[in-house]
Structure 1
Amino acid sequence: MIATNIALSGVQASVARLNVSAQNVANANTTGEIAKAVPAANAIGRTINHAYQPIAIYQAAAAAGGVNAKPVPAVPGTGPRYDPESQDADADGNIEAPDVEFASEDAEQRKALFSFRANLSVIRTQDQMMGSLLDTRV
């Protein structure tokens, strides 16, 4: 039974990793204004568009076995990008953009898929072993 619980925590972690990576890819073009100091008098009634903050998954071993997956902000997260046509561009034509690398996200999604399959294989094997054990006659 413990092997099943450990594998289930791995399945849940894989799903979390895939969801976070999909969010990062979907919001890769969600840009915003460059963060800068704005005098209090100019900030009244002003809405600031923020760029999407990419997310990463922090995985750690659980006390009872298995893993815990926790979403955390990716570092550095965002950076300036030159796009003078954007509505969020400053006087120099720069905007704040998420630091999302599509190749890294593709690799992360593939790792999540392989991890999911491996943990699912453990669950299937445990189920087959329990079935064989219950089918045994004395």
Structure 2
Amino acid sequence: MTTLAAIAQSGLQAAQLRLDSSAHNVANLNTPGFRRQTVDQQAAPAPGGVQARVAAPAAATGVALEAEAVEQISATYAFQANLLVLRRADEMAGALLDVRA
């Protein structure tokens, strides 16, 4: 797998984790004493990309539905952007093979 594909794949996984965590928060919106999950992301060492993990539940209880909607939209855009990177990498590899062949 190329470095570009590995970076995009890590971005896809991080976006999926954000969507999963937000869905979990919405599903437990009315659960008494529920603490909202968040996802921490940081730059990954070589070859690059992003590392994501579910953080410890926030100290404050409750979930803001509008914040979760924004989080889901943001994660969806991140997912689409990383998918586009994978498509372009595939196109570039195909073009390179066409030139070399």
SS in 2 for 1:59: strand
SS in 1 for 2:55: strand
What does residue 68 of structure 1 align with? 51
Distance 1:20 1:6 in 2: 21
Structure 2: gaps (5+ residues):
none
Aligned residues: 99
Answer yes or no: is the 8 Å Cα contact 2:15–2:79 preserved in 1: yes
Give the C-alpha shift of residue 135 in structure 1.
1.4
Q: What value does the CA root-mean-square deviation take over the aligned residues?
A: 1.2
Distance 2:100 2:10 in 1: 33
What TM-score do you get using the length of structure 1 for normalisation?
A: 0.68
Structure 1 residues 32-47: aligned runs within 5 Å:
none
Structure 1 residues 14-93: aligned runs within 5 Å:
14-31=15-32, 51-64=33-46, 65-78=48-61
What does residue 91 of structure 2 align with? 128
Larger radius of gyration: 1
1 or 2, which has the higher strand percentage?
1
Structure 1: gaps (5+ residues):
32-50, 79-98
Give the C-alpha shift of residue 58 in structure 1.
0.4
